[in-house]
Structure 1
Amino acid sequence: MITAGDFRKGMTFELDGEPNVVVDFQHVKPGKGAAFVRTKYKNIITGAIRETAFNPTEKFNEARIETRKMTYLYNDGDLFYFMDPESFEQIPVGKDLMGDAVKYIRENDEATLRFYENSCFAVEPPNFVDLTVTETEPGIKGDTATNVTKAATVETGAVIQVPIFIEEGEKIQIDTRTGEYLGRSKE
């Protein structure tokens, strides 16, 4: 059990049977009246953000979030299958839980899956991935204005804005958190 007075950023707790993470908090001691903890928290499953004032002695169960690195195997329609590299257990994940991760994960790539009570609620790709450009328009010779970009489709089907000098077949590095081109791959 944890109390609201123990809240820190990133701490997880259960409220009404659902897991939440503390986004921001502030201990308030007004001149009159009792102290309270103004808390901004996010529901881990739905993503809803709320602000509430709690009594510092209010008690909550700690939400145990399990994080596992797993290997993406394949997709079968709306299900994506991941394998635990230690136990070789395969877990199907619905397309709705994949989010943007589906744009950056190839077969046999590693991803981070988050579980609450043995149920997967989030899939996160690595922060940086190297993908091959499969389709893009050729650059126009002489077009050297700064920050000129064009759309490029990578092997996973994601469309990324890249500089005009990038050509089909090149490997590029992408930041999966923002979807931005970082540079040519060093592989």
Structure 2
Amino acid sequence: MPKINGNEIRPGITVEHDGGLWAAVKVSHVKPGKGGAFAQVELKNLRDGRKLNERFRSEDKVEQVRLETKDQQFLYETDGMLVFMDSETFEQTELPADLLGDRRPFLQDGMTASIEYYGEEALSVQLPQKVICKVVDTEPVQKGQTAANSYKPAILDNGVRIMVPPFVGPGEDIVVHTELMEYSERA
């Protein structure tokens, strides 16, 4: 594994630190009036989800970890575990459902998701950036109302509540951004 300087850490980079695998979430470079500059890094443990704030000076060396990403098909959920299948080898992988947090309802049967591996160990699930959902309930469409920064609440077919433009009515398919959990466009 390559070693990088502490000031080269960027958001999204995975490093080995204190015997664990950590993903850099936020990085801010600080130059205090006294002393040397450092990078203030918010790290998230990829195995148990703990967060840690750490300071790295430019002379500090950290191991950068390369994770392998495989696209796998979601099969089903059982006892709080999500079961995915590799479409080439047909091997099945189980991951805890709480890895997705509040984005879990966007995972649909048969959907292809990206799973990150460290060696043989599955660490995380990345959903597609955008998914299509059906609006189940919302206020009726208002005639003559424009979409000038006015949004109304809507409930989707997966139970998630988001804000949609006033021209979207019940029964319509819309595209939802899974990271931001917000309306993107009509389907």
Shift of residue 127, structure 1, vs aligned partner: 1.0
Contact 1:99 1:123 in 2 (8 A): no
CA distance in 2 between partners of 1:39 and 1:141 (Å): 49
Q: In the aligned structure 1, how far is the partner of 2:39 from the partner of 2:182?
A: 35
Instruction: Give the 3-state SS of the residue equivalent to 1:107 in structure 2.
Output: coil
- Any unmatched runs of 5+ in structure 1? none
RMSD, matched Cα: 3.0
Q: Percent identity?
A: 25
36 and 110 in structure 1: CA distance in 2 versus 1, 3 angstrom threshold: same
TM superposition score normalised by structure 1: 0.77
Q: CA deviation at 1:31?
A: 8.9
Q: How does 1:19-38 map to 2 (within 5 A)?
A: 19-22=21-24, 23-24=26-27, 26=29, 37-38=38-39
> Which residue does the alignment assign to 1:137?
138
Aligned to 2:100, the other structure's residue is in SS state helix
- Matched residue, 1:51: 54
What aligned pairs does 1:59-138 form with structure 2 within 5 A after superposition? 59-133=61-135, 135-138=136-139
Could you report, residue by residue, the CA deviation over 1:123-175 in whole angstroms, capped at 9, with x for unpaired residues?
A: 22111111222x21341544726444333222322222112332232110111
2:176 pairs, out of 158, 161, 174, with: 174
Q: Aligned partner of 1:173: which letter?
A: V
**What TM-score results when the alignment is normalised by the length of structure 2?**
0.77
Change (3 A) 1:171 1:142: closer
Contact 2:116 2:125 (8 Å CA) reproduced: yes
**Conserved? CA contact 2:142–2:166, under 8 Å:** no
Distance apart, 1:117 and its partner CA: 4.4
Q: How many equivalent pairs are there?
A: 181
In structure 2, the gaps of 5 or more residues are none
Greater CA radius of gyration, 1 or 2?
1
Instruction: Tell me how far 1:73 sits from its aligned partner.
Output: 1.2
Name the CA distance, whole Å, in 2 between partners of 1:36 and 1:99: 35
Give the CA deviation at 1:113.
1.7
Amino acid at match of 1:48: K
**Structure 1, residues 60-86: CA drift from partner, whole Å, max 9, x if none?**
433232222111111124121111122
Matches of 1:149 and 1:7, distance apart in 2? 41
Q: Report Cα offsets for 1:31-87 as digits up to 9, x if no partner.
A: 98xx6643424134225141313461x444332322221111111241211111221
Residues 69, 84 of structure 1: 8 Å contact kept: yes
